[in-house]
């Protein structure tokens, strides 16, 4: 699994953003790269950790989100961005999918 050979990427000095290796651009037309979405995801995930849960916290789901996020971080450090993005995306989607139904049903007359 050495997909990353084809990816000429580097990580920003703060270690938090993916950039093209040749020009250190987040978006680079010459390298045909656009990491804005991934970098935004990574930023979002940092905030998710600190956000208080909006409704009743769901400990099972929160644990799942954290686990996915940690998997993503692990792959990120291994420079396996493809896998990192996959796990980050799953974590974000899961954390966005908080249950809103309970609030709605409690409003029924
Ligand atoms: Zn470039």
CA 93 to chain centre: 9
In this structure, are residues 97 and 65 in contact, taking their beta carbons and an 8 Å threshold?
no
Distance of CA 10 from the midpoint of ligand 1 (Å): 10
Q: Where are the beta strands (DSSP E) in the chain?
A: 9-11, 18-20, 27-28, 33-34
- Provide CB contacts within 8 A for 46, sequence distance 6+: none
> Tell me: the pLDDT tens digits for 79-107?
898 899 899 889 888 877 755 554 444 45
Distance of CA 23 from the midpoint of ligand 1 (Å): 4
> Tell me: the pLDDT tens digits for 34-86?
999 888 888 777 766 555 555 556 778 888 888 999 999 999 889 898 899 89
Distance of CA 42 from the midpoint of ligand 1 (Å): 20
pLDDT in the model for residue 94: 82
Which sequence spans correspond to the domains of the chain? 3-99
Distance of CA 71 from the midpoint of ligand 1 (Å): 27
């Amino acid at each position: 699994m050495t997909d990353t050979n084809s990816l000429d990427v580097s990580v920003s000095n703060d270690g938090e953003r993916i950039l093209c290796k040749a020009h250190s651009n987040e978006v680079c037309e010459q390298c045909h790269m656009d990491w804005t979405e991934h970098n935004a995801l990574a930023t979002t995930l940092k905030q998710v950790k600190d956000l208080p849960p909006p409704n009743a916290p769901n400990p099972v789901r929160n644990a799942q989100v954290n686990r996915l996020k940690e998997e993503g971080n692990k792959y990120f450090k291994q420079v396996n961005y493809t896998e990192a993005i996959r796990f980050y995306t799953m974590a974000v989607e899961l954390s966005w999918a908080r249950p809103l139904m309970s609030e709605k049903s409690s409003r029924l007359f």
